Amino acid sequence: MSEVIVPKKKDSAMGAGVKRDYQGKEKAKRDAGAAAPDHPRNAYTSMFESFRDELDEHHDRRMRIGKVSRDVTALSKKIVRKLSQPIPERIQSEIDGRVKEIAELLETIQADVQGANRYRYPLICLEEFVEAVSFAHYLRHQTLMTPGEAQEALPADIRLTAPRLRLRHLRPHGRDDADDGGDDAKRTILADMQSVSSMLQISPTLGGKTNVFAKKLDIMIEQVRKVERLGYGVAVRGNERPKGWMPDLNEGFGGSDDIAMAD
Amino acid sequence: MASDNGSGMIDPAIFEYLKAHGEEEIEVGDKLHQITASLNRSISTCQGLLSRIHSTPSSKLAPLLKQVEETGIQPEIEGVGELAQFASKYPYYKYNHRWSRSVQNVVGTILLTAWLGGMGTESRPGELGRLLTIEEIGEILKVPVNLKDRDSFHVTIEEYLLALTDITEELSRLAMNSVTLGDVALTVRISSFIKDLFAGFQLLNLKNDIVRKRVDAVKYHVKKVEDVIYDLSLRNLLPKTE
């Protein structure tokens, strides 16, 4: 009763607390791996045990990939936010750092997504990543990145799949206008967006599991409309504005009287 | 405004690339639809035939199972073969959601037939209460199972497990009907089988997915059979255990 229990340092990495029974004595740790000895075995027990191991392996892999995917997504989004034209030295080095981080992250799951497993687990992060690199590519060269170039830009031996590449092309260009405001390069950006949009509308729609592509296509069309409206605003009233004026994307949405919209 | 598709901004190769991939996907989708539709027809036939077990006394079970094997399972095996041949040309997990349910149903019908004493071979005659392993299923369907070293058509562990939950449901129904048909021994047999399977399912560490959802339902199948056994024991109708 009176003995003092000194908590022993556990070697577990989690540093979780020690479980005690009602007397304060340490409870024997139950090993999750081995089935409890009193567990009755039957004809199918070993079969299910091997299934359990297989499924555990699959779930672990899925968790690992999910985690990396989230991190890469976050990094890619950060890159996109920082991009502007022209790309200053400081930003470029920051982007390089992030790409390096992405490379390290992807490295860890490279083995998990080889062969048949490539399509088994969702890797949406790659879409985000290609959005980032293809946006940068567009700012530098004013051309649309080809699938081959995108694959080269990917710092890991992971195969990009066709639909993935495609989805990505939609977003960066939907975003150009938001970031650049369609300033003096307005003519090109608008025309470029229009041609990307027509290209994607002409080529056959990809199904995918939940028809994501069709949804994104709708969003893209909307984005193009927005920029068309801006282009119109600049064309009509551009001369009345002071030099360097940028159209506000929110103009023309009902409340504003700046750009008269013939609805 | 003047720029058309040849604006120079888009490499025409991109357009070609997108078109080719999109078209391939549509073609594969159509063909898969056709194959699975015909496979699903065979499955319905087989399931329909198998549903007669609920009204067939055990003495007449053997000819029924024979019929199931010949006119139900045989076309299923052929359908799976056709599917395997086509699907192996493409990444497995890209399309497997298109046929996973069908394969699971095929496995389910085979498992049930075999458990009832069908699916016998020269080397191994069929016997009541025999659960085929996933490897034996693969041999019957002539496809690989649980492939890990290459990307090809196969039967997955998940599909096999889901098929097991299908047969516990069917057997829990049979447990009741076999009492009606006067075969109490079969009910007792089913009861112990389902309990063993349920114990097996409890060994799995399930995550929040379809397998968990279906395995959760197995306890109701167990309960259903237990209720029948309870009714029988209450009235002293259970066969004496020696």
- Give yes or no: residues B33 and B148 share one domain: yes
pLDDT at B161: 95
pLDDT band at A218 (very low <50, low <70, confident <90, very high): confident
- How confident is the prediction for chain A on average, in pLDDT? 68
Residues above pLDDT 70, as percent of chain B? 95
pLDDT at B162: 95
pLDDT band at A189 (very low <50, low <70, confident <90, very high): low
Tally Cβ neighbours within 10 Å of residue A32: 7
Give the distance from residue A207's alpha carbon to the nearest chain B alpha carbon, in angstroms: 8
- How confident is the prediction for chain B on average, in pLDDT? 89
B3 inside domain: no
Separation CA B40–CA B21 (nearest Å): 28
A84-135 pLDDT, tens digit per residue, is 666 778 888 888 888 888 888 888 888 888 777 878 887 778 777 877 887 7
User: Which domains are delineated in chain A?
Assistant: 49-160 (1.20.58.190), 161-240 (no CATH)
Residue A199 sits at the chain B interface (C-beta within 8 Å): yes
Minimum mean pLDDT among A65-69, A153-157, B181-185, B230-234: which range?
A153-157
- Give yes or no: residues B123 and B188 share one domain: no
Residue B100 sits at the chain A interface (C-beta within 8 Å): no
pLDDT at A258: 39
Chain B residues 23-52 within an 8 A CB cutoff of chain A: 23, 25-26, 29
Residues above pLDDT 90, as percent of chain B? 69
Mutate which of B202, B203, B206, B207 to disrupt the A interface (most A C-beta within 10 Å)? B203
Q: Do A226 and A174 form a contact (C-beta atoms < 8 A)? A: no
Q: Do B112 and B61 form a contact (C-beta atoms < 8 A)? A: no
Give the distance from residue B131's alpha carbon to the nearest chain A alpha carbon, in angstroms: 9
The DSSP symbol for A26 reads: B
Cβ–Cβ gap B157/A52 under 8 Å? no
Q: Do B195 and B222 form a contact (C-beta atoms < 8 A)? A: yes
Strand-pairing partners, residue B155, are B145
Selection from B77, B85, B68 nearest residue B102 by Cα = B77
Structure tokens given for A248: 């506000």
pLDDT band at B229 (very low <50, low <70, confident <90, very high): very high
B66 inside domain: yes
The SS3 call for residue B151 is: coil
The SS3 call for residue B145 is: strand
**Domain extent at residue B182:** 159-242
Structural domain ending residue among the three candidates B155, B172, B207: B155
Structure tokens given for B195: 């309990």
Write the residue in A55, A144, A204 that is nearest to B9 by C-beta.
A144
Q: Least CA distance to A205: which residue of chain B?
A: B22
Strand-pairing partners, residue A20, are A26
Structure tokens given for A191: 């025309």
Residue B203 sits at the chain A interface (C-beta within 8 Å): yes
Instruction: Indicate whether this complex's ipTM tops 0.90.
Output: no
Give the distance from residue B222's alpha carbon to the nearest chain A alpha carbon, in angstroms: 16
Strand-pairing partners, residue B145, are B155
Chain B residues 212-241 within an 8 A CB cutoff of chain A: none
- Give yes or no: residues B44 and B148 share one domain: yes
Separation CA B125–CA B127 (nearest Å): 6
B154-177 pLDDT, tens digit per residue, is 999 999 999 999 999 999 999 999
pLDDT band at B64 (very low <50, low <70, confident <90, very high): very high
- Give yes or no: residues B148 and B178 share one domain: no
Q: Do A232 and A259 form a contact (C-beta atoms < 8 A)? A: yes
pLDDT band at B24 (very low <50, low <70, confident <90, very high): confident
Domain count, chain B: 2
Residue B15 sits at the chain A interface (C-beta within 8 Å): yes
Structural domain ending residue among the three candidates B155, B180, B215: B155
pLDDT band at B143 (very low <50, low <70, confident <90, very high): very high
Separation CA A163–CA A153 (nearest Å): 17
Give the mean pLDDT of B196-221. 92
The DSSP symbol for B73 reads: I
Residues above pLDDT 90, as percent of chain A? 8
Selection from B65, B69, B99, B68 nearest residue B84 by Cα = B99
φ, ψ of residue A246 to 5 degrees: the values are: -115, 135
Write the residue in B22, B147, B197 that is nearest to A116 by C-beta.
B147
Q: Enter the pTM of the model.
A: 0.77
pLDDT at A236: 76
Selection from B231, B109, B104, B227 nearest residue B156 by Cα = B104
Structural domain ending residue among the three candidates B87, B122, B155: B155
- Give yes or no: residues B181 and B151 share one domain: no
Separation CA A71–CA A69 (nearest Å): 5
Question: Cα dist. B120→A16, B62, B171, B189 in Å?
Answer: 54, 11, 20, 19
Q: Do B40 and B10 form a contact (C-beta atoms < 8 A)? A: no
H/E element, B56: none
**How long, in residues, is chain B?**
242
